[in-house]
Amino acid sequence: MDTAGNLIKTVRVRKIKSYVMLSIATVTAIYGVLWLLWILLDVFFNGFKSLSFSLFINDPAPPGVEGGGLRHAFVGHFIITSLATIMGIPIGIGAGIYFAEYGRHSTFVKFLRNITDVMVSFPSIVIGTLVYAVMVKPVGHFMGISGSVALALLMIPVVAITTDEILKLVPNSLREAGYALGARRWQVIKDISLSAARRGILTGVILGIARITGETAPLLFTAFNNNYLTLDPTQPMASLTVTIFQYAMGPYEVWHGQAWASALILTFGTLMFFILAKFVIRRK
Amino acid sequence: MHFLTGRVWDPVSEVFGALPAIVGTLLVTLISSMIALPVSVGIAVFISELCPERFKPFFSTAVELLGAIPSIIYGMWGLFVIAPLMADHVEPFLQNTFGKLPLIGVLFEGAPTGIDALTSGFVLSIMIIPFMSAIVKDAFEMTPPLLKEAGYGLGATKWEVVRNVVIPFALPGIIGGVILSVGRALGETMAVAFLTGNVHAIPKSLLEPLTTITVAIANEFTEADSDIYLSSLFLLALILFLMSFGLLMTAKFLILERIGKRWTPRGI
């Protein structure tokens, strides 16, 4: 009788303990989602307040003067990111193809692949200092193009790893079928592997772009900043992220408002890329 | 050697000591990992074991999106939203509650400004939660259902299965994820750039401003006028490089290699 009572008690204690711990787990999940909503709502409301048409079409006005915009930063950001994408994508995809198709069994490629894996989580500011030492210091002034190079270096590992992983999913029997038809290696890669993996590679590219659109640290001392509109990538160039950094740290209310507005556009731009990537992969 | 142990960072008289920045980096990283670890494991348990199938995509997408927000947004949001909140409410509360206690009390001395180690670590923790929980979740989901069913078959409660079957099985993955996230936190610049105050001093409490390697580089690089100043910043970058490279390599070769896990892009 007594032992049975004890047993029931133990079971009840264990059950309660289980409920408590699992509730804690639920609370942490809600905690995570809460921050997401909080950040998004703050960015949305504060940014929306300062969002105006003149933000996109005007150059910055001196503090205190109405109607300044951030046209230079939008244009600069677009140029820097596009140049980085143009440089980063071919190299990234090429590296991925090499990893997955040509260098499957070589130890050297295995080593390279490990380095690439590590590169993905690398501190971006260190890349910035590297590019500064290699490109900015010898020339003597900051350049938009060096910002693009820094961003491209960040993008390459992301694209390379995605391409590599996706190409590995292409069944070998497909490749063998190609060879059996007498295709050469490059023909097999071009017409079979790549066309089977098209969608996955596209996802990698989108993720790579999403990764670099929000980067600030490597741009601080490569592309630097510029208060005027410039289309010349050999000049210092403004970018949205660096401008946000400068404006948010600045003393003026107007600057803070414009920083929030740019933050809104940047956040939703980046999230759009991510959602797009998810959408592309889901549609299969 | 002087550089590593020096406590003074004075660009005007060209004396450079990196100790405050190194200590600051480690401190902020430690705070953020201590907050992020339990939360990430909790989120992973929730998503992989508890969440009804219908809401799973919602929660995992939400956590992924949290990881997709650019770090500068975290920094700015921390500066405008969290820092005042910390200064006005949280930190005075901490001081009143813990300030009198021996040993812990020391941690909460100083003026609550919101620009300090605690806020930096806190915002950084929000930022690394997505990375950590994604890896931990993947490790959890690799547990063979057979093992879990055996646990339930023995009459274990859900928590006991998680505690005694899933977590031990996923332990290498958890450790790998933690190291990877710590490596990420070390090198994170913009999220903390707004919040540390960039003061080259070893903080005596959690409520004092400090600096980290990344923040020092970000704020001072373009102002470095003398060669020795610039070289000092490069050396800081090298130290950071070695620290994070070491951590990432450890994570990769000791742990993730063993369980065959690779960094996979989020969104897939």
Higher pLDDT, A129 or A68: A129
What average pLDDT does range A148-159 have in this prediction?
A: 90
Q: What is the mean pLDDT of residues B40-49?
A: 87
pLDDT of residue B225: 74
Residue A257 has pLDDT above 90, yes or no: no
Q: Domain spanning B2-256 has what CATH number? A: 1.10.3720.10
Q: Which has more confidence, B97 or A26?
A: A26
Q: Rounded distance, CA A134 to CA A117, Å?
A: 23
Q: Measured between beta carbons, which residues in chain A are less than 8 angstroms from residue B214?
A: 123, 125, 217
Identify the CA nearest to B127 among candidates B200, B194, B175, B176: B194
Spatial CA neighbour of A262 closest among A38, A43, A35: A43
Nearest to A129 among B63, B234, B252 (CB): B234
Contact B186 A123 (CB under 8 A): yes
User: Residue A250 has what pLDDT?
Assistant: 78
What are the helix and strand counts (H, E) for chain B?
A: 13, 2
Chain A residue numbers with beta carbons less than 8 Å from the beta carbon of B184 are 121
Interface membership of B224 toward A (CB under 8 Å)? no
Determine whether the interchain pair B51/A29 forms a contact, defined as Cβ–Cβ distance below 8 Å. Answer: yes
Confidence check: pLDDT of B106 > 80 = no
Whether residues A28 and B38 touch (CB distance < 8 A) is answered with yes
Q: How is A235-283 classified by DSSP, letter by letter?
A: S----HHHHHHHHHHSS-HHHHHHHHHHHHHHHHHHHHHHHHHHHHHHT
> Does the pLDDT of residue B87 top 50, yes or no?
yes
High-pLDDT (> 70) share of chain A, %: 96
pLDDT at B34 over 50: yes
Beta-carbon separation of A207 and B80 below 8 A: no
Question: Is it the case that residue B124 has pLDDT exceeding 50?
Answer: yes
Distance (Å, rounded) from C-alpha A259 to C-alpha A237? 17
The answer to whether B159 faces chain A, any CB pair under 8 Å, is yes
Is residue A67 very low, low, confident or very high in pLDDT (cuts 50, 70, 90)? low
Q: List helix spans (H) across B142-212.
A: 145-153, 158-161, 167-186, 190-193
Q: Please report the pLDDT score of residue B145 as a whole number.
A: 85
Tokens of B57: 């995509």
| pLDDT confidence of residue B260 | 54
Q: Of B45, B68, B187, which is closest to A126 when you measure between CB atoms?
A: B187
Residue with the larger pLDDT of the pair A87 and B257: A87
* pLDDT for B204: 73
Q: Which residue out of A40, A117, A124, A125 would a mutagenesis test of the B interface target, given it has the greatest number of B Cβ atoms within 10 Å?
A: A125
Confidence (pLDDT) at A156: 92
Is B16 near chain A, with CB under 8 Å?
Answer: no
Q: Is B223 on the interface with A (CB under 8 A)?
A: no
Least confident of A63-77, A159-173, B184-198: A63-77
Judge whether A197 and A163 are in contact, CB under 8 Å.
yes
Averaged over A61-81, what is the pLDDT? 77
Q: Which residue has the tokens 């990537």?
A: A277
Answer whether B187 sits within 8 Å of A28, measured CB to CB: no
Q: Which residues contact A68 (CB under 8 A, 6 or more apart)?
A: A54, A58, A59, A60, A61, A62, A254, A258
Say if the Cβ atoms of A203 and B268 lie within 8 Å.
yes
Q: What is the pLDDT of residue B268?
A: 31
Q: In B, residues 114-133, which contact A (CB 8 Å cutoff)?
A: 126, 129-130, 133
Mean pLDDT of chain A: 84
**Cβ B72–A241 below 8 Å, yes or no?**
yes
Q: B67: pLDDT confidence band, cut at 50, 70 and 90?
A: confident
A25 and B65 within 8 Å at the Cβ level: the answer is no
Per-domain residue ranges of chain B: 2-256
- Measured between CA atoms, the residue of chain A closest to residue B161 is A18
Residue B259 confidence (pLDDT) above 60: no
Residue A73 pLDDT > 60, yes or no? Answer: yes
- CB distance A81 to A149 below 8 Å: no
Q: Which of A42, A266, A281 sits opposite B70 (nearest CB)?
A: A266
Mutate: best of B60, B76, B254, partner A, most A CBs <10 A:
B76
Amino acid A6: pLDDT: 81
Query: Which of B159, B223, B257, B262 to mutate against chain A (most A CBs within 10 Å)?
Result: B159
Size of chain B, expressed as the number of residues it contains: 268
CB contact under 8 A, B248 and A248: no
Measured between beta carbons, the chain A residues lying within 8 angstroms of B65 are 36, 271, 274
Range name among A181-185, A187-191, A215-219, B202-206 with the lowest pLDDT average: B202-206
Question: In chain A, which ranges are continuous DSSP H helix?
Answer: 2-50, 54-57, 71-97, 107-120, 124-131, 137-139, 144-169, 172-180, 185-188, 194-196, 198-213, 217-220, 240-249, 253-282
Which among A29, A217, A220 has CB closest to B222? A220
> Token pair for residue A190?
């071009």
A121/A116 Cα distance (integer angstroms): 9
Question: What SS3 class is residue B197?
Answer: strand
pLDDT for position B140: 85
Backbone φ, ψ for residue B107 (5° rounding):
-65, -25
What's the distance, Cα to Cα, between the start and end of chain B in Å?
Answer: 46
CA distances to A130, B114, B203 from B217, in Å: 12, 22, 19
The candidate with the shortest Cα–Cα distance to A73, out of A57, A87, A52, is: A57
User: A2-41, pLDDT tens digit by residue?
Assistant: 677 788 888 888 888 888 888 888 888 888 888 888 888 8
pLDDT at A89 over 90: yes
CB within 8 Å: A249 and B194: yes
Contact B267 A274 (CB under 8 A): yes
In the Cβ-directed half-sphere of B219, how many Cα atoms lie within 13 Å?
19
Answer for the pair B84, B78: CB distance below 8 angstroms, yes or no: no
